[in-house]
Amino acid sequence: MHSASSSHRHPAHNPALGIALKLGSVVLFSGMTLCVKFLGQEIPVGQTIFARGAISTLVLAVIAWRTGALHLLKTANWRSHALRSLSGTISMFCLFAAVTMIPLADVTAITFTSPMFVTVLAMMFLGEHIHRFRWTALAAGFLGVLIMLGPHLSFAGHSALGALTALGAALFSAFAMIFLRKMSGAEHAITITFYFSLTFMACSAITALQGWPMPTVMQWCLIILAGLFGVSGQLLMTYAYRHAEASTIAPLDYTSMIMAVLLGYVFFGEIPMLSIWIGAPLVAAAGMIILWREYYLKKQLSTPAPEP
């Protein structure tokens, strides 16, 4: 049996498989948010996240054991893991909370701003230069954000709070990506995901002090399904990036908007507002331009200079 580490060093390049795995992860993550939406505010967000963390930690430990890769669960890079995991944990809390307050399509569209935040944070913390090309994309994306947030901010109550919470999810997801970049590939994907799962499970356990209600049988099923969908989507996404380049499969994240619109309409009768139909394509286009620009620059850097 091959170890996980050896397969990590020599992944088989198979773009078609990578695309299929990525689309599968989008479907599973959409299923996870659907379960959270069904649970609503009757089950605290922390309780659902704790269940997901417990399932994820168990599944990853079993995978590491079955593949003879238990050594991957050891790390000396505690600080980087802590920063990445805490950022991801805050993002997850924001995402789950936002899903219970505003339509699925709205949450999904607003979280498309994550690549924009990554670009700005990379300039601030990693010293990356942003040239005119990406500034233009950021400006278009920012306009799209204003269009999408406008109707929410004009209403009181959960609508405004939900929109801002979804924006917080995108921001802290970008922080998590920045910390991942600083780890520079020094850690295996299983290691990163395992400690992330441990972190959000431990943080969510604190919310039990406020009291967790006893779920009904149906709610237990939804909680467990959310956990299984979450860890399965994470694993499929991880393996997708091992079989295809990020520039090939990262844009597929935007197919989650199609899933959100369909699921929101079928299960909750949600119809996205006009502002979402106008703003979301602007934000998605900005993200696509930023992803393409990063791929282009990396390709230039990796291309050897011609000999004199």
pLDDT digit string, tens, across residues 240-286: 877 877 667 777 888 899 899 999 999 999 988 888 999 999 988 88
Report how far apart, in Å, the C-alpha atoms of 252 and of each of 187, 215, 237, 286, 288 are.
Answer: 25, 35, 11, 14, 10
Sequence spans of domains, the chain: 12-300
Angle at 158 between CA 154 and CA 164, to 5 degrees: 70
pLDDT of residue 137: 84
pLDDT single digits (tens) 21-54: 989 999 999 999 999 999 988 999 999 999 999 9
Q: Which two tokens stand for residue 14?
A: 């198979």
pLDDT of residue 101: 92
Confidence of residue 235 (pLDDT cuts 50, 70, 90): confident
pLDDT of residue 184: 58
Confidence of residue 1 (pLDDT cuts 50, 70, 90): very low
Least confident residue range of 84-98, 125-139, 195-209, 277-291:
125-139
Q: What percent of the chain has pLDDT over 70?
A: 88
* List of residues 6+ apart from 54 with CB closer than 8 A: 201, 227
Do residues 61 and 73 make contact, with C-beta atoms less than 8 angstroms apart?
yes
pLDDT single digits (tens) 136-187: 888 888 898 889 888 777 655 678 889 999 999 999 999 998 887 777 567 7
pLDDT surpasses 70 at 9 = no
pLDDT of residue 72: 79
pLDDT of residue 92: 96
User: What is the residue-averaged pLDDT of the chain?
Assistant: 84
Which pTM was predicted?
Answer: 0.84
pLDDT surpasses 50 at 308 = no
Phi-psi region of 31 (alpha: psi -120 to 50; beta: other; left: phi over 0): alpha
